[in-house]
Structure 1
Amino acid sequence: MKIIVPMAGRGSRLRPHTLTIPKPLIPIAGKPIVHRLVEDIAGVINQKIDEIAFIIHEDFGKQVEQDLIAIAEKLGSKGTIYYQNEALGTAHAIMCAKDSMTGPIVVAYADTLFRADFTLDTSADSVIWVKQVEDPSAFGVVQLNENNQIVDFVEKPKEFISDLAIIGIYYFKSGEALRSELQYLLDNNVVKGGEYQLTDGLENMKQKGMKFVPGKVDEWMDCGNKNVTVETNSRMLHFLDIDGENLIAPDIRIENSTIIPPCFIGDDVVLIDSIVGPYVSIGKGTHLHNTKIKNSLVQTHVHIKNAKLDNAMIGNHATFDGNFTSISIGDYSILE
């Protein structure tokens, strides 16, 4: 099994945090989004992951590439880097990794996390991860027949067709079959809105009689902008706490401070005269002094004092001293 992860987008809705790091490498409850994503996929498919192919922009730099390779290696997989330097659509992005599209594959877009308890149907030609939503008009949805097979893909339906939204994770029994269909789109310039779309390839595969079935997830967590990313961090902390995962490093220093779980607190964190939690992630090397913080995401080596924070997101190596509450400041920012 291989996992293909298109992640070349700039993540403009999450600026300033994505000015210095790609969105999929922003930590959620102590691990990068993409790390948690591939871990969760591995848990659902319950098979050995031979390779994880990351599709990035060449400008992301060598350190990002090394970090991604390390994520793959932690899962016992080979990590491969491909480049998409021009945004030409979902089908084009996937085809940047065409050399890795052999055998069974999972395609997963790296701006979403999920929780699921289902067994992958490897007899199907394709499984499309979906989540039941209240307002399907905002999403691409799938329509099922009486045999629980997908018979149609509809983008943002104005009239009710289905409430099963496509979350952006797909299984294909044959990577070669998907590659062939997407190559057809590129060769024949089949575009919508100036981009090559994966859904056009899926429709062609369906028309040829391939069997598509849904994989229904229990939770779908977005990381599109600051507010939903902070919310996703809180929800992930809740799930990890239920799972009994140890979220607090053993070497933190606490002076006259309280931690209200669930919280992730990394190595070498110092808490002085502070109240932390619930639903806070604090990266390694961060110092808090005279601070109350809840429902927030703080990255590494941050210094915060005299603060009362809620729904905040703070980048690496930032310094904050003040009374603002719901803030979003990027790496190396100073507010004092």
Structure 2
Amino acid sequence: MKAVVLAAGYGTRLERDLQDDTSGKYSHLIGIPKPLLPVGGVPLVTHWIHCFSTVPQISSLVVVVNDLHKPLYEQWSKTLPQEVTIVSDGSNSNEGRSGAVACMALGVQGCPNDTLFVAGDTLLKCDFSLATMISKFESLKKEDGRACLVLGCPVSEENVSKHGIIEIDESDRVRHLLEKPQPHETASRLQCPCVYLISAVSLPLIQEFLDRTQEQPLSCRDATGKFISALVEQVPVYCLPVAGRYDVGGLQSYLSCCTEFASDGMVAAAQDLCKVK
């Protein structure tokens, strides 16, 4: 199994907040991509590296980045005890970005294996167990080799329109994913963070999605939820419920993430794995 971390975004909202902050307290964070921001004493993405190291099924790791931040990720990767492949989407600006779904395809080039996709700016609450997720995924594949698995976590009423919302049936199969719907458009209050297990059989559907949308605006390919929305119409996609996620968007949500993450006691393992240099 391969793990692919999607880290090619430019974090424009956070960068704008940092530039506008007049206190000067956070000026040292300007220019740092969100996955490399310190959370609990180490870069955010390092917590995922620790998580991957806890399961034997993951045998290779790819981080998809942009050209602008590639040197920062190469420096970070040298602090890790295991090999990480850094792949660039070739972009140097937010306007020239390839889009998150294209980065998914880039991360699995030449990979015939089941793949775990993770957004590099996402962290989950302490109840999340990657081993449990993989176990359920493997069980689902025994029933149907095309099966895929995503996460579902509660979202407040006022934040429904900010996330991809999944509607599931009594068997936890995802029937629809609605990208940023208004609260009245769905009864579901489950958001779908970008933590997906896609079966090897279903991986070609990523490129098929890109081929179908290549003439459409970039926004059609820049949210992984758009691909999942199409995927649920083609293969069985199931939901694993989790308690929630930490939001890392603007400056205030980043600071809240740091506070909440530390209060949940999720720091020591990743600190042991990798020290910030």
TM-score where L is the length of structure 1: 0.63
The CA RMSD over aligned residues, in Å, is 2.9
Whether 2:40 is the aligned partner of 1:60: answer no
Q: Structure 1 runs of 4+ off > 4 angstroms?
A: 245-249
C-alpha contact 2:179 2:226 (8 A) present in aligned 1: no
- What aligned pairs does 1:265-280 form with structure 2 within 5 A after superposition? none
C-alpha contact 2:41 2:271 (8 A) present in aligned 1: no
Alpha-carbon displacement from aligned partner over 1:177-217 (angstroms, at most 9, x marks no partner): 22x11212333335654342544443443333x22111222
2:60 maps to a residue whose letter is E
C-alpha contact 1:141 1:153 (8 A) present in aligned 2: yes
Tell me what 2:172 maps to: 148
1:145 maps to a residue whose letter is D
- Sort the Cα spacing of 1:98 and 1:228 in 2 relative to 1 into closer, same or farther, 3 A: same
- Sort the Cα spacing of 1:49 and 1:141 in 2 relative to 1 into closer, same or farther, 3 A: same
Alpha-carbon displacement from aligned partner over 1:31-71 (angstroms, at most 9, x marks no partner): 1011113434555xx33421111111112243421313543
Match of 1:28 among 14, 17, 39: 39
> For 1:220 and 1:247, how far apart are their aligned partners in 2?
17
| Aligned pairs, number | 241
SS in 2 for 1:131: strand
> For 1:226 and 1:14, how far apart are their aligned partners in 2?
5
C-alpha contact 2:2 2:59 (8 A) present in aligned 1: yes
C-alpha contact 1:56 1:81 (8 A) present in aligned 2: yes
> For 2:70 and 2:214, how far apart are their aligned partners in 1?
32
- What aligned pairs does 1:128-277 form with structure 2 within 5 A after superposition? 128-135=150-157, 136-158=160-182, 159=184, 160-174=186-200, 177-178=202-203, 180-190=204-214, 193-195=217-219, 196=221, 197-208=223-234, 210-240=235-265, 245=268
Match of 1:82 among 80, 87, 104: 87
> For 1:191 and 1:88, how far apart are their aligned partners in 2?
13
Identify, as 1 or 2, the structure richer in helix. 2
C-alpha contact 1:37 1:112 (8 A) present in aligned 2: no
> For 2:67 and 2:43, how far apart are their aligned partners in 1?
19
C-alpha contact 2:35 2:121 (8 A) present in aligned 1: yes
1:5 maps to a residue whose letter is V
Identify, as 1 or 2, the structure richer in strand. 1
C-alpha contact 2:101 2:224 (8 A) present in aligned 1: yes
Question: Gaps (5+ residues) in structure 2?
Answer: 19-27, 141-146
Larger radius of gyration: 1
SS in 2 for 1:65: helix
> For 1:30 and 1:202, how far apart are their aligned partners in 2?
33
Post-superposition shift, 1:142?
0.7
Tell me what 1:110 maps to: 120
Higher relative contact order (CA 8 A, sep 6+): 2
Tell me what 1:8 maps to: 8
